Structure 1
């Protein structure tokens, strides 16, 4: 099996006039070449004239807390200025771009619509289109795989647009950021001069396995590949008053609250015969976050088969069971972030459906299976692998 090479590896080998232009790089510490060298270091060593860095949510270090304001900084590794795109602005200003010729984007993603690195990319696309700057996206494989039959909706309703989902794609989209950039470029920013540098030696059915391609934690809560697989479903718990594992070392692998009777909840979920997952009861005390210092009773989760597990469907089933079994205590949660200071409407923004809590409470089935070829037909012209 040949080693997967990322877009940055391919770009570093290219001999083109762009090496002599002034470039800004949108990146973080998680972005490396296939051999573990940080992308900004690899690009500088290859002779690219990187003069400025932009950082997304979690900052250049990829270690800032979820939703936390991130200041501008100076990169200790390269001594380059770092402009935060998760502070007072989410999009580069005209002044930010006036002294550069091209923008390069290289950030690993986790294949989930409400993971915000994707939407930082769209703000970059808009800014580059407005300021007549070329954008180069250095592509990477999707760690959740690229099987479009595994994509899960719902699609985003326009009324639910936010920094957790600006444009309509499924919750689990099964695409690379380069593919989505091509799609968005055609649909929303047609004047943008966009170049996507493909990864090499990856096919759509591959997951990271430690031999041809390693998964590197992409943010504080996404510590491993199993967590990334749970995230499109368990991330929905941020919208209700259930601890989603934050404050533990098992983010999105455990869930609980002081008022849950874990054996009963497990029994109800087992009736659904959910594929690809292992469920057991647990109790824990979060060190911070929701119910910090309180004993939470709930479930511990494991994935037995990545090919059959459908995270979004599971997340919706889980929330409906919680509401059904605890109608007086399971409620919506305000989830405050820098991009949504009030925290209101968080579940709607995550799921992409208006009045989603009331819909789930009423027992209405939310369809995660996309209509035959609905997403596949839409995205197919932009696929790269």
Structure 2
């Protein structure tokens, strides 16, 4: 039972107060009703919606500025938190008593919904508003031994795809991270925060262990397999290798017109990374890199999610492709609304200053060292809820 289902089953005393709901269309109840619609049906007095990157309907292009609007499902006004501002301003919160946050995350530091939550936390602290987070399970499990770094260098690499120092794969829920952020980053700890926990979720559970149907969280994360591979194949955004955007299998394939897919697949499998197999494929992206061009590449099949480490796989792929195709491989900018020039994208993804030579030239034995999560397990332990 997710936090939103627990909230609906046991309505709080504040449900009749003026509520601002931070949400998107991926936030559903257990029976797949949009959370905002279910809350209204149960008498929650929602007066305004706030939406993150990709907009309320989760259909916006990656990194594209989203406008304010009106929700076609409920008729409520929608304030974008990926447009003219990243946080609610005092005017937005003036006629709101409670801010309720309910957005599914996928357990990866550079997935931006998490950082929208931090901006909302700061705004609520500054404006003296009560923030309630309806928690949701981490689809990649809460197994702390599977957390993967690098940790983030805040001095040189803080951005909207990683504001604060946590590993790339953090193995936490949003509610757990909120508790940690409140203690570590909210000035004077002035935030009134409550977390509605999930019920019956165990840290060893992955998304297929509690639901057979994955609700797409954004256009490029249409299924659980994409979410599981994203912390590693997301690193390809900083290269001229297609990460599968514009195909039916985003973040499950990697390739380019010049790439020797069969050779790369064989080299990946020779290394025998835990829990994954590479298969040579061809694909033609309908958008993004190499739009309309036939790409040779690999498709990754996770055979054992309990041992699979996606960040290590991403580093390995880049290293091998760089090694085999030095004349074709290149680093590339990744322009977004919050980083218009797209500069230093690999630094911002990895959290490492001057990351390009580290990733491209890392020896096979070095990859585990570079992707270590450091002392994360000890730091987050006091804030774990499950």
Q: Secondary structure at the match of 1:196?
A: strand
TM alignment of 1:1-385, pairs within 5 A = 5-158=1-154, 159-189=156-186, 190-209=189-208, 214-363=213-362, 365-366=366-367, 367-371=370-374, 374-385=375-386
CA contact (8 A) 1:109 1:177 kept: yes
When you count helix as a share of all residues, which structure comes out higher?
Answer: 2
SS in 2 for 1:256: strand
- Deviations 1:201-241, CA, capped at 9 Å, x for gaps: 11000112276564211111111111110000001000111
Aligned equivalents of 2:224, 2:83: Cα separation in 1? 28
Task: Report how far residue 354 of structure 1 moved.
Answer: 1.1
CA contact (8 A) 2:138 2:207 kept: no
Contact (CA 8 Å) 1:198, 1:384: kept in 2 or not?
yes
- Flag the 1:247–1:213 CA change in 2: closer, same or farther, 3 A: closer
| Number of positions where the alignment pairs a residue of Structure 1 with one of Structure 2 | 379
Q: Distance in 1 between matches of 2:130 and 2:46?
A: 14
CA distance in 2, matches of 1:300, 1:213: 22
CA distance in 2, matches of 1:206, 1:270: 27
Give the drift of 1:270: 2.1
Confirm or deny: 8 A CA contact 1:92 1:127 kept in the other structure. Answer: yes
Q: 1:211 to 1:334 in 2, by over 3 A?
A: closer
Q: Secondary structure at the match of 1:24?
A: strand
Structure-2 separation of matches of 1:139 and 1:50: 18
Q: What do the CA deviations read for 1:135-193 (whole angstroms, capped 9, x no partner)?
A: 00000000000010110111011111110000011100000000000100111111100
Q: Deviations over 1:111-144 (max 9, x none)?
A: 0000000000000000000100010000000000
TM-score (norm. length: structure 2): 0.95
CA change 1:211–1:383 in 2 (3 A) is closer
Structure 2 residue matching 1:103: 3-state secondary structure: strand
